[in-house]
Structure 1
Amino acid sequence: MFAALVMVFVNKAVLNSSPDVPLLFLFIQLIIAVLLLHATAAFSARIEIPRLDLHVARKLVPVVTVNIVGLVFNTLCLRDVEASFFQIARGLVLPLTIAVSSTTTQTAPPGRVLVAAGIVATGFFVGIAPEGGLPSAAVPSTLGLFYGVLSALFIAIHSVLVKASLPHCNNSTIQLAYWTNAGSAVIVLPFMLLNREPAKVVAMMADAEWNMKVFVWGSLITGFFGFLLCIAGLLSIKVTSPITHMFSSAARSVIQTLLGVGLFHDVLTINRVVSLVVISSGTMYYTWVKSQEGPPPARPVDLEAIGNGDRHRKEEEVLWQAPEKDSERTD
């Protein structure tokens, strides 16, 4: 929770001071995460850095591409909306995750899952409903909301692709995290250069009003805490129950909103309070519903009877049929 809060507010501070270089800021975070994974692997046998394998890299192109596109929209959304409104702007993560998962598996979600998705969607629309009397700076831009919806959509697609990508990484989430961070840095690099963001930083250095320390320290802090967030997320899923995890996420949303009001003087309205309560309630109800489900029976598949060309595909089908508990959490 602490790592996630630091990430949001330091990101917001940097984007407020340097709004024209979001891709360079993101690129630095990704590189720091990769370097810290290497450093950690040197001292811990539990952190295994994967070998460079072009065959594996090609297999992971979809999940890495979706990840970086989602991160870009996430960053742009945070830049264009208030920190206290950020959770609302991305409020459709759960409904979109359910929709993408159902489309992929070609199965209809249970009624109670649809109720949970409806509650969360209602909270989102309450939060974005126009309100009178707001100062112009507090009114979320249409583009910021658009970025938020796209961020939620790509998070949903990413959660589905992760399940299909883990077998290519020896079912190691650390190896997948390494491939994702390194691959995302490679993908974002040319777009950062095309946007001339390094040149923009050089130009800003000549501006006496630009606070370079915010950008430098913000990049270092978010890179470090982004790495910690990756590790903390894995540990949280490992040692807590889904219900505990979701209550933690709900509490973080409340703290994030209060900090946004206190640190950035964000405007807190009744609509936004109701929206956060409804979104958190729907998400926790969904988690409770999933915790009550028994593990679905896995259909037996005789891998030895399958030709080599189809074996890996069938192994992925078995993974899709395995019980899903912690893997279906949304952040």
Structure 2
Amino acid sequence: MGEPQPVPVESAPPSRTKVALTVLFHSSCAILSTILSKSALNGIEAPVTLLGLQTAVQVVLFTTFGLFTGWIQLSRPPSAWLALLPLTVARLVGILAKTYCLASVNASVYQIARGLLLPFTLLLSLLVLRPRPYYPPLSLAGCAMVMAGFVAGMAADYGQALTSGKGIILGVGSSLTTAIESVVVKRFLGKSKEGMWQMVWMSNVMALPFYLPLLPLSGELSNAKNMFDMSETSEGGRQFLASASLTGVSAFLLTIATFMQIEVTSPTTHMIVTAARGVAQSSLAIVLLGEMLTFDRAGSMFLILGGSALYGWARDRYAQSKKPSEGAYQPVPRDEEAATDLKETKGDTLR
């Protein structure tokens, strides 16, 4: 007979106070980043310049914090950088699409415009990820609610000339590119030898050179030059630079907050918090940016948030049902579905 195996000691669950403070910190960083970005874009519509400045601030903060904690290494072989190029490109395209979408629609309907993110993510996961994730019927019902909220909200906004066709197309494109980014991240989480922090830092560093050719291609080069020429910088330019710097800080804090929230909350809580954050974000956009709230927008937001919460609850309920009962012997599952669920949750960190 073999030696008896030690019984694992389960760590105590986090206190309600810790969970509440972590959720508040995460939601505050996410909302602050969106509102500041929209405020800057309302003054000067320069999405590429805004993202370039945000990324530069994040690289400085990640480098300082990562070296202090020992979580990142500055010296990596060329093969390691080259291996992360697909992830960098996917993240860059995703964040560009999100920012252009934010520039074209009101912040209060930003979540509605990107309402196809969940359906696209589910579809691409089924097509690309192996083993294929399983989605319970209730989770698919939640996905259908999200799609209904998007269609109803965008149709009403377009009919009332509150959102342009360009905004709707950018919303769909942003949802698709973010879903592709999410699937790419999940694949890298399972195959890359780099740690999460190292991947975030390296992808941000690699993204910086891409902004140099994007500035003239987007027609923002002259505006960017004027902003950094202190003798010609206008009041609006100074406000744009200040907002861009603050969004870089908030994005850095958001990454830390995402790690913390993953640690102390379940996937269901994460989805519900994300839904509630959308309501708070829309409310602040109405109050601070003077945007309009219509009955159609409120109804669409309710469908999207309710569907997201139902999806998260159904997935979590299915995961709990697959856990072995206490004291019962269970073989290790070959499909590693639990690992896949963990990858899906951690995938949000790199967005």
Instruction: Output the CA distance in 2 between the equivalents of 1:101 and 1:10.
Output: 32
Q: Output the amino acid matched with 2:213.
A: P
Spell out the pairing of 1:1-331 with structure 2 (5 A cutoff).
1-19=27-45, 21-45=46-70, 47-49=71-73, 51-105=75-129, 107=132, 109-130=135-156, 134=160, 139-167=162-190, 169-170=192-193, 172-203=195-226, 211-294=236-319, 295=322, 321-329=337-345
Partners of 1:145 and 1:49 lie apart in 2 by: 41
Instruction: Report the RMSD for the aligned CA atoms in angstroms.
Output: 2.6
Q: Which amino acid aligns with 1:36?
A: L
CA contact under 8 A between 2:135 and 2:315: conserved in structure 1?
no
Query: How far apart are the structure 2 equivalents of 1:199 and 1:269?
Result: 38
Equivalences, count:
308
Distance 1:132 1:124 in 2: 12
Equivalent residue number for residue 6 of structure 2: none
SS of the equivalent of 1:51 reads: coil
Q: How far apart are the structure 1 equivalents of 2:259 and 2:117?
A: 19
Between 239-248 and 73-82, the greater mean CA deviation after superposition: 239-248
Letter in 2 for 1:64: T
8 Å contact from structure 1 (residues 23, 197) kept in 2: yes
* CA distance in 2: counterparts of 1:57 and 1:243, whole angstroms: 35
Pairwise CA distance, 1:200: 2.0
Query: Can you give the 5+ residue segments of structure 2 that lack an aligned partner in the other structure?
Result: 1-26, 324-330
Q: Distance in 1 between matches of 2:146 and 2:225?
A: 43
For the 8 Å contact 2:272–2:312, the answer to whether it is kept is no
**1:31 Cα deviation after fit:** 1.3
The 3 A distance-change label for structure 1 pair 84 and 291 is same
* C-alpha distance in 2 between matches for 1:213 and 1:132: 34
Shift of 1:281: 0.8
Distance in 2, Cα, partners of 1:130 & 1:280: 18
Measure, in 1, the Cα distance between the counterparts of 2:129 and 2:190.
18
Question: Structure 1 residue 168: deviation in Å?
Answer: 5.2
Distance 1:103 1:167 in 2: 17
State the TM-score, normalizing by the size of structure 2: 0.80
Please give the alpha-carbon distance, in whole angstroms, between the structure 2 residues aligned to 1:38 and 1:325: 30
Q: Distance in 2 between matches of 1:247 and 1:35?
A: 32
**CA deviation after TM superposition for structure 1 residue 51, in Å:** 3.2
Q: Deviations over 1:137-192 (max 9, x none)?
A: xx111111111111111111111111221355435211111122122222232212
Judging changes above 3 Å, is the alpha-carbon distance between structure 1 residues 292 and 200 closer, same or farther for their aligned structure 2 residues? Answer: same
| Greater displacement, 221-230 / 234-243 | 234-243
8 Å CA contact retained: 2:272, 2:308: no
User: In structure 1, the residue corresponding to 2:156 is in which secondary structure?
Assistant: coil
